Amino acid sequence: MSVLDLRGLTIGLPRGAERSNAVTGVSLTVEKAEIVCLVGESGSGKSVIAQSVMGLLPKSLPVTAGSISLQEEDLTRAPEARLRQLRTTRMSMIFQEPMTALNPVMRCGDQIDEVLRFHTQESPPQRKKRILNILQEVSLQDPERMMASYPHQLSGGQRQRIMIAMALVLDPALLIADEPTTALDVTTQSQILKLILELQKRHGTGVLFITHDFGVVAEIAHRVAVLRLGELVELGPREEVLRRPRHEYTRMLIASVPALKPSGRESRSDARIVLETRKLSKTYSTRRWLGARRDVHAAADVDLELRRGQTLGIVGESGSGKSTVARCIVRLVDPSAGEIRLDGEDIAHLRAGALRGMRRKVQIVFQDPYRSLNPRRTVREAITEGPRNYGVPAAEALERAKKLLELVRMDASALGRYPHQFSGGQRQRICIARALAMEPEVLIADEAVSALDVSVQAQVLALLEEIRARLDLAMLFITHDLRVAAQVCDHVAVMQRGRVVEYGEAGQVFLRPRHEYTRALFEAAPGRGFAFGTT
Amino acid sequence: MLLGNWSVRIGGGALVLLLVIALAAPWLGTVDPTLFDAASRDLRPGEVGEITNLDGETMKHVFLMGSDSLGRDVYSRVMYGTRVSLLVGLLCALLALSIGIVCGLAAGYLRWLDGTLMRFMDGVMAIPAILVAITLVAILRGSLATVIMAIAIPEIPRVTRLVRSLVLSIREEPYVEAAVALGTPAWKIMLGHILPNCIAPLVVQGTYIVAFSILVEAILSFLGVGLPPDIPTWGNVMSEGRAQFNDYPHNIFFPGVFLAVTVLSVNILGDGLRDTLDPKMAKRV
Amino acid sequence: MYTFLLRRILSTLPVLVIVAVLVFLVLRLAPGDPAAILAGDAASTEQIARIRVQLGLDKPIVAQFAIWAGNLLSGDLGESFYYKMKVTTLIGQRLEPTLALATLTILVAVLVAVPLGVAAAWRFGGWFDRALMGFSVLGFSVPVFVLAYILIYVVSLKLGLLPVQGYRRIGDGFWPFLRHLILPSVTLSVIYIALIARVTRASVLEALGEDYIRTARAKGLTELRVLVRHALANAAVPIVTVVGIGIALLIGGVVVTESVYAIPGLGRLTVDAVLARDFPTVQGLILFFSFTYVLVNLLIDLSYVFLDPRIRY
């Protein structure tokens, strides 16, 4: 008997959506003690499937055909009361964002206790014992303190462990994990993945693991299901699907995943240094008038060199200071100390007026394509804004814009349209064109591909590479994704808690990391045993 | 898109009607609202009486909404009262908005000014609006200008807060940072990126201010601390009819209905505008 | 946490100071001779001169403020021209009816509005939601005194169920006390209910869109539990905030309601004092109302600590 059996599942979308069904004719099973990874890009319908099993879909997304069977009970025919009974007792779900997935005004212990109060008849002391047990099982230190804490007092990893504890406390047969590690740091992600594997083996839970990250698939899947626009295009054991994918979509996806090994680029160390930082620091002081003063060293003593025609990558987890460094260099933020030499001139402490000259030379592309463009401005206005600021006449700026759109592989008709009419990848291209309109010497990409689907990401990365080569730009590439860094960087700086802990040629750093943190980062990269990017 | 929304249609339509009434008051079967005739005191709605005009001529007149204790035609006073209410509402809103926008932009963009200005605004907001209005009118004497000022002043802090919070939140947006990186000067950012995104919430807020102003003016007049009694406003008519409410409720009823309908229309229009122009604001009040 | 509380309390001081300064300046900044304004149109020059000396208006303005502020801090709000007694005594006499009216109104409003708002958010877009929103707009739009007259007309005059006007002290019997307060509180609470219901609906709606609601449902909890313990609990801060801010509306409404229902409270006193140009009383009342408003909002701010554990720093 399968734990979960989906047969011909079809879920409709409301009228006016991009397609008629969110999910069409999907059939798959999850057996006892098995992990099935459901992979797909955004909009593929994977979350919809997950929520439909739990019965959490809104009425606007009805199950129009097929069945969902949990241990041979058809959930599509079950009344709401029965579904409520089954939740956390036979099937559980954990979600992507642990911060927002937990009730901020309720103690963590109480949130787990709620599950026990609603589904069992146990007495308070019995419940407390159960909770302490499960908290220990998920490797949370000091379970008593965890119980009394509120979610905002815990780290991302700790919160996700609380979610897992809440989901598994009643030992359900099925666990649905909807991208549970996507919002976590690489090292935390690796710990959570190990935890899930461990718990799953111990309790024999069947797991339906939703992800878009093939590295994770390589790390934990027994079987893999690939979803595209609501349809199941491939299903099979992990090794089969990853090494010998049958469907061309799967092949395309797997080929888009960058390898963890640097691509053997030649770095010319004789290239001119365009920008360098010396002992760059940024400290945030909070002073409350009745409390102590606290200093946060977002970045401390950072030394970097950017050479013409080369890409320097800054790799680090959240809080490492990599974005702070980028923002200091672009002078969106004033550095507290240190030098930033652009073509020899120190721009670190220039005032607003003097900065104007410098701004043309250093441009930046941000992470969120949905908020980087003013929704009320046309693409033409967005791209020509920069040059117009420097006195370039409108006609010439327009010509430049047209050429740049060509460079970023977009049609000139885009000029008259508004940002909301474009996809995430297209918007990023527009942002790149906007930055290039200034004819900069340095281009900073601050997590510029992190919010994009893997196939789109591959395209934008290739575009950035091409631009760098053609325009001989110096590029600073900020990312948390080691694979992306391996693909595009000549040199790499690894940052931890505001400091650069390792710096060198990409080949060196990736193949022979010296600092223990760098090594820990690589150990934690999911799917590092599997050689992507080589098929 | 704007006109497709039901609230905009209903509220806007009613307001257009009221505007027509205000403009066309002299031709809607009214007489000069200040005329009175002792012989026609306290007539019930629909009764016929006499009215003496400024030249001393007496004529028959149907008092559609009755007459007050001085023999004035309530209907005429209500019709002409529309002018005052709409005018007061509009001018108060414009005044509060213009001053509020300037203060809000300043507070949001100039860090050094922010603290002091907002504290000052907190102080003004701490005094309930009606009290401010009553006191200002009492001290400065009731005239149209003073009443408008007195009603607009308590509204300024709220507009300032709104604009300030909009400025602060829009400044954080990546597209504003991008503009900074592109070398766009601060004034261009304010005009080109920040203000346009403020317009929708401000229009919505403006309509609510109009509604509130009309209400406050009526309350002031009703309490006897508003516009001078010779100017016909709904509040004045109701104020005069207070004493005889038990026997002659028409003095309160007719202007009251007009007042309620006007304020209601403006509020409905405001809700409609909010739903079409700024759906995010629908989540706030 | 105690530093937070202390800091919050101290931060109201500047606001109180600004209120005091504004109140002080308002009269003195008006065009014309303050003493003449106070004395009224029919006063003789001697009366005006007497008032000037009496209020110390002949001294330099900073000295005046110092004296006035000093008096304020020692609890002396001056003496009423019209009623010929200390303003503080006057306020003390009229306080009970206003307090009774306000308390009853707030209680009724919160107990009625919050459940309505929660229900509307739960069935968002349904007939109940639309009806509530319609009622709420109506509640905002019908002026307090018009509503008062409608209620008086229907309930008192036509149906004879409740007294038309007046006030009975609680000491004279609870039931008469209540009977005389029912219509006024209902009148006053309508606008308050409209406001609170709206904000409740909006914040519960926002809370219902958050991820933790999905988690709560995924735990198999009943809708009621999800609504109350998860959605409403997180919506509490904005709701409580608007109850505080609504006090300003309440104060304005009290002024009108007491006038219509002939309740001898502070609201009536305000109108009478303004009409009688009894400046010290008006000044004292504004200070009293403003300070009360600031204090109530301070209490509400402090209550956040219990409502939202994130507000603790």
Write a three-state SS string for A82-142: HHHHHECCCEEEECCCHHHHCCCCCCHHHHHHHHHHHHCCCCHHHHHHHHHHHHHHCCCCC
Q: Residue A379: pLDDT band by 50, 70, 90 thresholds?
A: very high
- For residue C212, give the chain A residue with the closest CA: A101
Which C-chain residues 172-201 have CB contacts (< 8 A) with chain B? 195, 198-199
Query: Interface partners of A (3+ CB pairs, < 8 Å)?
Result: B, C
Domains and CATH numbers, chain B: 2-32+74-277 (1.10.3720.10)
- For residue B186, give the chain A residue with the closest CA: A352
Q: Rounded mean pLDDT of chain C?
A: 85
Write out pLDDT tens, residues A461-484.
999 999 998 998 999 999 998 889
Judged by phi (left if over 0) then psi (alpha if -120 to 50, else beta), residue C31 lies in: beta
Instruction: From residue B26, give the alpha-carbon distance in Å to each of B65, B80, B88, B233.
Output: 16, 8, 19, 15
Which residue type sits at A7?
R
Q: Rounded mean pLDDT of chain A?
A: 90
Whose CA is closest to B204, among B122, B120, B272, B121? B272
Residue A100 half-sphere exposure toward CB, CA atoms < 13 A? 10
Element (H, E) at B58: strand B58-63
Partners of A4 in beta bridges: A30, A70
The enclosing domain of A136 has a CATH number of 3.40.50.300
Is C252 touching B (CB cutoff 8 A)?
yes
Whose CA is closest to C294, among B119, A400, A12, A422? B119
Q: Which two tokens stand for residue A394?
A: 């409108």
Dist CA A283 CA A278 (whole Å):
15
Dist CA B276 CA A450 (whole Å):
33
Q: Rounded mean pLDDT of chain B?
A: 86
Percentage of chain A lying above the pLDDT 90 cut? 65
Find tokens 């439909």 and name the residue: A52
Q: What is the pLDDT of residue C29?
A: 67
Which residue type sits at A261?
K
Whose CA is closest to B157, among B132, B131, B120, B190? B120
Q: Kindly give, in sequence order, each residue whose CB lies less than 8 Å from that of residue C41, ignoring residues fewer than 6 positions away.
A: none
Whose CA is closest to A379, among A327, A332, A437, A330? A437
Dihedral sign from CA coordinates of A172, A174, A176, A180: positive
Write out pLDDT tens, residues A171-205.
999 999 999 998 888 889 999 999 999 999 999 99
Q: What are phi and psi of B228, to 5 degrees?
A: -60, 150
Q: What is the pLDDT of residue C32?
A: 64
Question: Is the ipTM here above 0.85?
Answer: no
Percentage of chain A lying above the pLDDT 70 cut? 98
Write out pLDDT tens, residues C98-148.
999 999 999 999 999 999 999 999 998 889 999 999 999 999 888 888 898
Asked whether the predicted pLDDT for residue A290 surpasses 70, the reply is no
Q: Which of A413, A439, A465 is the last residue of a domain?
A: A439
A·B CB contacts under 8 A: 49
Q: Per mean pLDDT, which of A160-169, B105-114, C264-273 is the most reliable?
A: A160-169
In chain C, DSSP finds a helix count (H) and a strand count (E) of: 13, 0
Write out pLDDT tens, residues A482-527.
889 988 899 999 999 999 999 998 888 888 899 999 999 988 888 8
Q: What is the pLDDT of residue C165?
A: 80
Q: What is the pLDDT of residue B228?
A: 84
Residue A113 domain flag: yes
Asked whether the predicted pLDDT for residue B2 surpasses 70, the reply is no
Whose CA is closest to A304, among A492, A36, A135? A492
Partners of residue B183 in chain A, C-beta under 8 Å: 356, 359-360, 386, 389-390, 438
Residue B135 to residue C282, Cβ atoms within 8 A:
yes
Rg (CA), chain B: 23
Find the length of chain A.
535
- For residue B115, give the chain C residue with the closest CA: C14
Q: What does the pLDDT average to over A390-398?
A: 91
Q: Which of A371, A404, A439 is the last residue of a domain?
A: A439
* Shortest Cα–Cα distance, B168 to chain A (Å): 16
Rg (CA), chain C: 23
Residue A306 domain flag: no
Q: Residue A260: pLDDT band by 50, 70, 90 thresholds?
A: confident
Q: What is the pLDDT of residue B284?
A: 43
Q: Which two tokens stand for residue C161?
A: 């169920």
Dist CA C193 CA C117 (whole Å):
10
Q: What is the pLDDT of residue A11?
A: 94
Find the length of chain B.
285
Partners of residue A102 in chain C, C-beta under 8 Å: 212, 215
Q: Which of A373, A404, A439 is the last residue of a domain?
A: A439
Q: What does the pLDDT average to over A264-282?
A: 81
Residue A267 domain flag: no
Does residue A473 sit in helix, strand or coil? coil
Q: What does the pLDDT average to over A321-332?
A: 91
Q: Which two tokens stand for residue A231?
A: 């349809």
Quote the number of domains for chain A. Answer: 2
Shared domain for A154 and A16, answered yes or no, is yes
Q: What is the pLDDT of residue B135?
A: 84
Partners of B57 in beta bridges: none
Shared domain for A235 and A367, answered yes or no, is no
Dist CA A20 CA C153 (whole Å):
58
Q: Residue C177: pLDDT band by 50, 70, 90 thresholds?
A: confident
Is C76 touching A (CB cutoff 8 A)?
no
Is A330 touching B (CB cutoff 8 A)?
yes
Element (H, E) at A62: none
Q: What does the pLDDT average to over A136-144?
A: 92
Q: Kindly give, in sequence order, each residue whose CB lies less than 8 Å from that of residue B147, ignoring residues fewer than 6 positions away.
A: B88, B133, B137, B217, B220, B226, B227
Question: C33 and C24 in contact (C-beta within 8 Å)?
Answer: no
Question: A372 and A393 in contact (C-beta within 8 Å)?
Answer: no
Whose CA is closest to A322, among A445, A520, A478, A442? A478
Asked whether the predicted pLDDT for residue B281 surpasses 60, the reply is no
Partners of residue B173 in chain A, C-beta under 8 Å: 371
Which residue type sits at A456?
V
DSSP code string of A283-301: EEEEE-TTS-EEEEEEEEE
Neighbours of A334 (CB within 10 A): 12
Shared domain for A238 and A375, answered yes or no, is no
Residue A50 domain flag: yes
Query: Interface partners of B (3+ CB pairs, < 8 Å)?
Result: A, C
Which C-chain residues 111-130 have CB contacts (< 8 A) with chain B? none
Residue A103 to residue C222, Cβ atoms within 8 A:
no
Q: B-side interface with C, Cβ within 8 Å?
A: 119-120, 122-131, 134-136, 138-140, 211, 215, 218-219, 222-225, 238, 245-246, 249, 252-253, 256, 259-260, 263-264, 266-268, 271, 282-285
Candidate from C212, C236, C307 with C-beta closest to A101? C212
C-alpha torsion C199→C204→C206→C209, nearest 10: -160
Shared domain for A207 and A87, answered yes or no, is yes
* Strands ordered across the beta sheet of A63-70: A21-30, A4-12, A63-70, A73-74
Whose CA is closest to C287, among C31, C14, C18? C18
Interface test with C, best of B8, B132, B223, B244 (most C CBs within 10 A): B223
Residue B123 to residue C19, Cβ atoms within 8 A:
yes
Q: What is the pLDDT of residue C60?
A: 74
Q: Which two tokens stand for residue B110?
A: 């100039």
Asked whether the predicted pLDDT for residue C93 surpasses 90, the reply is no
Asked whether the predicted pLDDT for residue C42 surpasses 70, the reply is no
Shared domain for A29 and A166, answered yes or no, is yes
Instruction: From residue B70, give the alpha-carbon distance in Å to each of A30, B52, B63, B76, C216.
Output: 88, 12, 13, 14, 67
Dist CA A519 CA A512 (whole Å):
9
Residue C143 to residue B268, Cβ atoms within 8 A:
no
Q: What is the pLDDT of residue B242?
A: 84
B·C CB contacts under 8 A: 137
* ∠ Cα A39 A40 A46 (to 5°): 85
Write out pLDDT tens, residues A21-59.
999 999 999 999 999 999 999 889 999 999 999 999 988
* Shortest Cα–Cα distance, B121 to chain A (Å): 22
* Strands ordered across the beta sheet of A273-287: A293-307, A273-287, A337-342, A345-346
Write out pLDDT tens, residues C271-312.
888 888 787 888 889 889 998 999 898 888 888 888 888 876
Q: Which two tokens stand for residue A474?
A: 């110096």
Q: Crossing angle of helices C279-307/C266-275, nearest 10°? A: 150
Question: A312 and A475 in contact (C-beta within 8 Å)?
Answer: yes
Residue A103 domain flag: yes
Interface test with A, best of B111, B169, B175 (most A CBs within 10 A): B175
Which A-chain residues 340-359 have CB contacts (< 8 A) with chain B? 356, 359
- For residue B217, give the chain C residue with the closest CA: C143
Residue A162 domain flag: yes
Partners of A208 in beta bridges: A36, A176
Q: What is the pLDDT of residue A289?
A: 61
Domain that holds residue A104: 4-256
Element (H, E) at A335: none
Indicate the range of A4-18, B50-64, B104-118 predicted with least confidence.
B50-64
Percentage of chain B lying above the pLDDT 70 cut? 96
Which C-chain residues 267-296 have CB contacts (< 8 A) with chain A? none
Partners of residue A360 in chain B, C-beta under 8 Å: 183
Dist CA A80 CA A56 (whole Å):
10
Q: What does the pLDDT average to over C185-207?
A: 92
Candidate from B175, B183, B197 with C-beta closest to A389? B183
Higher local confidence (pLDDT), A93 or A268: A93
Which C-chain residues 128-157 have CB contacts (< 8 A) with chain B? 133, 137-138, 140-146, 149-150, 152-153, 157
* Shortest Cα–Cα distance, A105 to chain C (Å): 6
Q: What does the pLDDT average to over A446-453?
A: 90
Whose CA is closest to B270, among B209, B216, B218? B209
End-to-end CA distance of chain A: 36
Q: What is the pLDDT of residue C214?
A: 94
Q: What is the pLDDT of residue C51?
A: 72
Residue C309 to residue A152, Cβ atoms within 8 A:
yes
Instruction: From residue C280, give the alpha-carbon distance in Å to each of A363, C37, C96.
Output: 64, 13, 21
Partners of residue A291 in chain C, C-beta under 8 Å: 3
Is A385 touching B (CB cutoff 8 A)?
yes
Shared domain for A22 and A154, answered yes or no, is yes
- For residue B185, give the chain A residue with the closest CA: A389
Residue A123 domain flag: yes
Dist CA A5 CA A69 (whole Å):
5
